[in-house]
Structure 1
Amino acid sequence: MPKLHVILASTRPGRAGEPIADWFVSRARAHGAFDVELVDLVEVDLPFMDEPNHPRLRRYEHQHTKDWSARIDAGDAFVFVTPEYNYGFTAPLKNAIDFLHFEWQHKPVGFVSYGGIAAGTRAVQMLKQVVTTLKMLPVFEAVNIPFHTQFIDEEGVVGANDVMEQAAAAMLDELVLSEATLRPRREAIREAEAAGKS
């Protein structure tokens, strides 16, 4: 079963991203097509980029980078759960992306964004420029949550409406198709790398 990493991009105390990510993880597990793992950037706790070599070289010196590399390399598809800060996405997410290069390539990515009237969509537009540079495939389908606080109750649990549920299902369906399409490319690259090392 392919592995889906749901990456929680907000690290702010009291973040709304946590209940939103928990809701989406539950929704993705119920969908049944992926082995789903929540990747919380608070727990990953990467420092600001501190590798002396370019990520393309994969000559990582720090254990936190080696661990991050192995974790992302193991993923077959991704969903970024992101707020919008000043028309953009979060600095911790950009930092986490920039630590690596090849580990992201030829993998599909979807977006769950949240915010006010724009529902985080401007952050997603900026993210698409970044991920395509890394040869990731952003799927068109997305979950965009406007005025997100109305969906989070006093216990910190998301009560999704039909639009959110349908959007999540459509995005997961597309991630399944895209992951299967890209998998032969990833496998061919891995085989070529293994042959080069032997």
Structure 2
Amino acid sequence: MADLKIAVILGSTRPGRNGKGVADWVVSKAAGRSGADYTLIDLVDYPLPHLDEAAPASMGQYAGDHTKNWATTIAGFDGFVFVTPEYNHSTSGVLKNAIDYLYGEWNNKAAAFVSYGALGGARAIEHLRAISSELQIAHVRQQLSFSLFSDFENFSTFAPQALHDDAAITLFDQLEAWARALKGVRGQAA
């Protein structure tokens, strides 16, 4: 068993979504790695209503059972791979909502980004980088951006170009290095 736990968070719940194929590909590419265990977290399985907590997440005073369940899930991970579509030049509302529910559970952890869309989802990643910085999530440089035109058949079946394989290895290497370093930071703070 690896010393790091990484969540691959699928940031789309839309019927007919393309993200499931992308997230499954990420998990399959990470499966042979010895430095971390990668687990798919599908937001379909965490039906969070539009943010309904009275207190700001930074206070850590979660009232709803759905929030407490989400917090327990996220707290157990050392890092994250956010898989996001690009909707209207940004990330999905459901992913932003899931992120906004928590604060301390994200702090001093590492993240990497995987996106897909007409232009590869790069603008969604830029928004997630800003959000992550506010939550004290250290995000790595390497990202994966998949085009609906060149990495999907008929805009729906995920068929990534081989050029993404090496980039994925770099992404995992960077993410695991940062997650391991930040695990030490969290240990010192405790």
| Partner residue, 2:127 | 126
**Partner letter of residue 125 of structure 1?**
E
| Partner residue, 1:38 | 40
Unaligned runs of 5+ in 1: 192-198
Larger helix proportion, structure 1 or 2?
A: 1
Shift in CA distance, 155/87, structure 1 to aligned 2, threshold 3 Å = closer
Match of 1:107 among 109, 113, 127: 109
Shift in CA distance, 150/182, structure 1 to aligned 2, threshold 3 Å = closer
Conserved? CA contact 1:82–1:114, under 8 Å: yes
Shift in CA distance, 67/121, structure 1 to aligned 2, threshold 3 Å = same
Identity %: 37
**Partner letter of residue 58 of structure 1?**
G
How much does 1:120 deviate? 0.1
**Partner letter of residue 160 of structure 1?**
P
Shift in CA distance, 100/167, structure 1 to aligned 2, threshold 3 Å = same
Instruction: Output the CA distance in 2 between the equivalents of 1:136 and 1:112.
Output: 16
Rg (Cα) greater in structure: 1
The number of residues matched between the two structures is 188
| Partner residue, 1:71 | 73
**Partner letter of residue 2 of structure 1?**
L
Match of 1:47 among 31, 42, 49: 49
Unaligned runs of 5+ in 2: none
Within a 5 Å distance, the mapping from 1:81-120 to structure 2 comes to 81-116=83-118, 118-120=119-121
Larger strand proportion, structure 1 or 2?
A: 2
1:40-89 per-residue CA deviation (whole Å, 9 max, x = no partner) reads 11111111111111112211111111111111110101001001111111
Match of 1:80 among 66, 71, 82: 82
Instruction: Output the CA distance in 1 between the equivalents of 2:19 and 2:42.
Output: 10
Shift in CA distance, 154/58, structure 1 to aligned 2, threshold 3 Å = closer
The RMSD of aligned alpha carbons is 1.8
Q: TM-score, normalised by structure 2?
A: 0.93
**Partner letter of residue 181 of structure 1?**
A
Instruction: Output the CA distance in 2 between the equivalents of 1:34 and 1:42.
Output: 24
Instruction: Output the CA distance in 2 between the equivalents of 1:145 and 1:34.
Output: 24
SS in 2 for 1:104: coil
Match of 1:12 among 14, 18, 22: 14
